[in-house]
């Protein structure tokens, strides 16, 4: 309910609606792209140790230990890394820092829906660029005639919610099309088979790459994400962050994030398990008659040519399986299904078989 106490802009916001986080434990939860595996035991041990020591003190405002760990992992220097309270916060600061030029920000018509929410928050005009019929990002559609200003470009690669990856060469074309603006590449899912643009940072002063520990490192509950880019971009993010919250990362998040990068073997093992399950799930979905877009992420985006997606999602919900359905143009007949453990994928396929025979 609107209230006269609100700043006028609050009533005009269109907030992001996250996927359902049910209280019930028994559901097969394949709706928010979390990792089905727990974080590395080393993360838990590090958090427990930090919880026993030092919580009465503020954390390091620069989270330098985490910056250095991430930088070393990606072959960068600490001044090329900006960590934050989940990549959503890092993205919000980046939109504030780089895209408020009074002209439109370019983004795909089908992408992470939070991007438009930040634009609403900061009053950034948006120009959506349609993906092709096949849900492919056509880089040439991002070119603008001389004299036409844009605020920048934001894409997710692999894209959400399609799961489809853009080859690095085409990311480079985007960077060259808009050399005076930031091209933000959100690589939330890159560890599940995508190609990271981080190696291009030295060459492109306009490239900002954003990562999260929520998906491939099983830490959605800890809230850690980061941006990588040249020092002048990172400095802008610092200025915004230090005008908002000096301590976005608490002591537990800093040590947990460091430990996640130190257990490379666990990371390799769990992401390989997710990618393996994905291949099996795609085949099982195709057997059930689904058309599945090629995924390089920890989810698949699928539609059934005969049955309504909302009806399938409701049928799955009634059988204790959660998947994500977006009531949005072009994708309302698709379901986004996160990759679970092999047992969860089996339960999904069983439930789908039952739902489809009920609808037929
Ligand atoms: C999950 C996701 C995020 C948010 O990640 P957090 O670090 O959990 O805030 C950002 N971008 C995309 C495309 C995502 O899918």
pLDDT band per the 50, 70, 90 thresholds, residue 230 = very high
What ligand 1 atom has the least distance to the C-alpha of 220?
A: 8
Between CA 316 and CA 312 the distance in angstroms is: 6
Q: Does the pLDDT at position 25 exceed 80?
A: no
The pLDDT tens digits of the residues spanning 158-191 come to 999 999 999 999 999 999 999 999 999 999 999 9
Average pLDDT rounded to a whole number, residues 136-152: 96
- What domains can be seen in the chain, in order of their start residue? 19-38+265-359 (3.90.1150.10), 41-262 (3.40.640.10)
Structure confidence at residue 24 (pLDDT): 64
Structure confidence at residue 86 (pLDDT): 98
Among 204, 194, 129, 193, smallest CA distance to 167 is for 194
Output the CA 87–ligand 1 centroid distance in Å.
Answer: 6
- Helix and strand tally (H, E) in the chain? 11, 12
Q: Give φ, ψ of 67 to 5 degrees.
A: -55, -45
The pLDDT tens digits of the residues spanning 314-344 come to 999 999 999 999 999 999 999 999 999 999 9
Output the CA 257–ligand 1 centroid distance in Å.
Answer: 16
Q: Is 183 in the pocket of ligand 1 (CB under 6 A)?
A: no
Among 152, 133, 95, 134, smallest CA distance to 142 is for 152
Q: Does the pLDDT at position 26 exceed 90?
A: no
pLDDT band per the 50, 70, 90 thresholds, residue 108 = very high
Q: Is 118 in the pocket of ligand 1 (CB under 6 A)?
A: no
């Amino acid at each position: 309910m609107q209230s006269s106490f609100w700043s006028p802009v609050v009533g005009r916001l269109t907030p992001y609606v996250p996927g359902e986080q049910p209280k019930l434990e028994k559901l097969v939860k394949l709706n928010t792209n979390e990792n089905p595996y727990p974080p590395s035991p080393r993360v838990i041990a590090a958090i427990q140790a930090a919880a026993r020591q030092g919580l009465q003190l503020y954390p390091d405002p620069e989270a330098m230990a985490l910056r250095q760990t991430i930088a070393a992992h990606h072959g960068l220097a600490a001044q090329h890394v900006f960590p934050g309270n989940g990549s959503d916060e890092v993205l919000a600061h980046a939109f504030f820092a780089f895209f408020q030029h009074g002209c439109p920000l370019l983004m795909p018509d089908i992408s992470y829906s939070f991007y438009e929410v930040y634009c609403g928050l900061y009053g950034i005009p948006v120009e959506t660029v349609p993906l092709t019929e096949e849900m492919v990002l056509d880089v040439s559609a991002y070119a603008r005639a001389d004299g036409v200003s844009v605020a920048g470009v934001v894409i997710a690669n692999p894209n959400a919610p399609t799961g489809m990856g853009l080859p690095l060469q085409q990311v480079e074309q985007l960077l060259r099309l808009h050399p005076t603006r930031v091209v933000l590449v959100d690589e939330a899912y890159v560890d599940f088979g995508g190609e990271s643009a981080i190696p291009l940072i030295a060459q492109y002063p306009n490239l900002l790459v954003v990562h999260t520990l929520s998906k491939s490192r099983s830490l959605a509950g800890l809230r850690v994400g980061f941006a990588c880019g040249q020092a002048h971009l990172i400095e802008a993010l610092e200025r915004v962050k230090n005008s908002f919250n000096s301590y976005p990362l608490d002591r537990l998040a800093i040590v947990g994030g460091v430990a996640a990068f130190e257990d490379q073997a666990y990371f390799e093992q769990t992401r390989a398990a997710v990618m393996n399950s994905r291949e099996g799930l795609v085949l099982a979905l195709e057997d059930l008659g689904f058309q599945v877009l090629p995924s390089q992420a920890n989810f698949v985006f699928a539609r059934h040519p005969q049955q309504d997606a909302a009806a399938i999602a409701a049928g799955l919900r009634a059988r204790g399986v959660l998947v994500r359905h977006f009531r949005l143009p072009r994708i309302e007949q698709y379901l986004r299904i996160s990759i679970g453990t092999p047992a969860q994928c089996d339960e999904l396929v069983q439930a789908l078989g039952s739902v489809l025979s009920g609808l037929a």
